Amino acid sequence: MELRQLEAFVAVGTELHFGRAAEKLHMGQPTLSDLVRRLERELGATLLTRTTRRVALTQAGTELLGRAKFIIDSVEGATAAVRRVAEGGAGRVRIGITPPVAPILAPHLAAAFKALAPDVDVTIRRMWLPDLERTVADIDGELDLAITCAKVPDPPGIISEIFCAEPLFVTLRPDHRLAGRHGIELAELAGETLGLHSAALFPAWVLALRQVLEAAGVAPPTVELTDTDLSAGRWAAQHEVDWILTTKSVAGSHVSTPLIPVSPSLHVPYTLQWCPIRAASAAVGRFVDLALSVDVPPGWVTQHDHLRHTKA
């Protein structure tokens, strides 16, 4: 039994007219009649009675008609579902992120992808950097791609792209000698104590800040912050700390001390990592393409690996 035979029978059984059924299926009437006759031979039953004036369903034909419609609908539904998955309109995307990605970048990308592919199931998990790197590199792992701040090495079989960045700010006590400035060079604070988060708690964030300091050629004395919240809104209570580095997304609304832009501008980079094998899934591939081309959050800048790159 072929699907074409069932489609031919359903058309005739619904129209009760071979000419109209052939027209509906865009085929010749002899071809349609042959498909129905072959189906009857294979089933060993007469499905239609034919006279020069009318076509009618037999009892066996009536029994088959409802079942055949269900089969055709099921096949069409399965075909449509498979096509949507193959085209990236359905399926799933599993994303691992480090904590600094959570406030702004992850929701920004998720909302943009929801508008593009509303039926794709997107799950986002916050993870520490070592776990993230290990899981995304696992070919049978629980992640399809990862997003973290900082420049990170490529695990075997993984592609990494620094695709956007967020401006960095200095935050000082209100009575600090530079608190009224509109921009601060890091070299001006090189002799004062910088507060850094615990690398055990926020390894990606600490790595990103250390990379920025190294690139700027500044090596201030540092002390570990006792504030265990990423926003570090209570850092000023730690008297041995003179200043911290942060971004607007990380600081959020929790910071009570002035945010002053670093001058010249410095940025915290964000890296997208994915496994090309898992990105062969159309939904994952579409998310990668979107992340590398969609407009970045307001106030952020694109990077050279962003497909919609503009000079900052």
Residue count (the chain)? 312
Which strands sit side by side in the sheet containing 243-246, from one edge to the other?
A: 222-224, 194-196, 243-246, 169-172, 259-261
Mutual angle of helices 18-25 and 29-43, in 10-degree steps: 100
> Which residues are within 8 A (CB) of 293 and not within 5 positions of it... i.e. 6 or more apart?
306, 307, 308
167-266 carries CATH number 3.40.190.10: yes
Tell whether the model's pLDDT for residue 75 goes beyond 80.
no
HEC string of 183-202 equals: CECHHHHCCCCEEECCCCCC
Q: Could you tell me the fold of the domain covering 90-163+269-302?
A: D-Maltodextrin-Binding Protein; domain 2 (3.40.190)
Task: Give the angle subtended at the CA of 285 by the CAs of 280 and 289, to the nearest 5°.
Answer: 150
For residue 312, what pLDDT band results from cuts at 50, 70 and 90?
Answer: very low
Pairwise CA distance, residues 92 & 85, whole Å? 9
Span 54-81, mean pLDDT?
Answer: 81
Span 302-306, mean pLDDT?
Answer: 75
pLDDT tens sequence across 27-41: 999 999 999 999 999
**What pLDDT score does 194 carry?**
97
pLDDT tens sequence across 223-240: 999 999 999 989 999 999
Tell whether the model's pLDDT for residue 92 goes beyond 70.
yes
Element (H, E) at 307: none
Mutual angle of helices 282-291 and 105-116, in 10-degree steps: 130
Residue with the two structure tokens 């055949």: 68
For residue 276, what pLDDT band results from cuts at 50, 70 and 90?
Answer: confident
CATH class of the domain whose range is 3-86? mainly alpha
Residue type, 225: L
Residue 232 near residue 196 (C-beta atoms within 8 A): no
Single out the residue of 181, 172, 179, 230 nearest to residue 201, CA to CA. Answer: 230
For residue 89, what pLDDT band results from cuts at 50, 70 and 90?
Answer: low
For 88: left if phi > 0, alpha if psi spans -120 to 50, otherwise beta; the answer is left
Span 194-200, mean pLDDT?
Answer: 96
Q: What is the mean pLDDT of the chain?
A: 88
Judge if pTM exceeds 0.75: no
Tell whether the model's pLDDT for residue 1 goes beyond 90.
no
pLDDT tens sequence across 96-148: 999 999 999 999 999 999 998 898 999 999 999 999 988 888 866 788 899 99
Domain locations in the chain as residue ranges = 3-86, 90-163+269-302, 167-266
**What pLDDT score does 226 carry?**
95
> Which residues are within 8 A (CB) of 86 and not within 5 positions of it... i.e. 6 or more apart?
282
Q: What percent of the chain has pLDDT over 70?
A: 91
Tell whether the model's pLDDT for residue 3 goes beyond 90.
no
Residue with the two structure tokens 């539904």: 77
Domains 90-163+269-302 and 167-266 are alike in CATH topology? yes
| Tally of helices (H runs) and strands (E runs) in the chain | 9, 13
What sign does the dihedral 180-183-187-189 (CA atoms) show?
positive
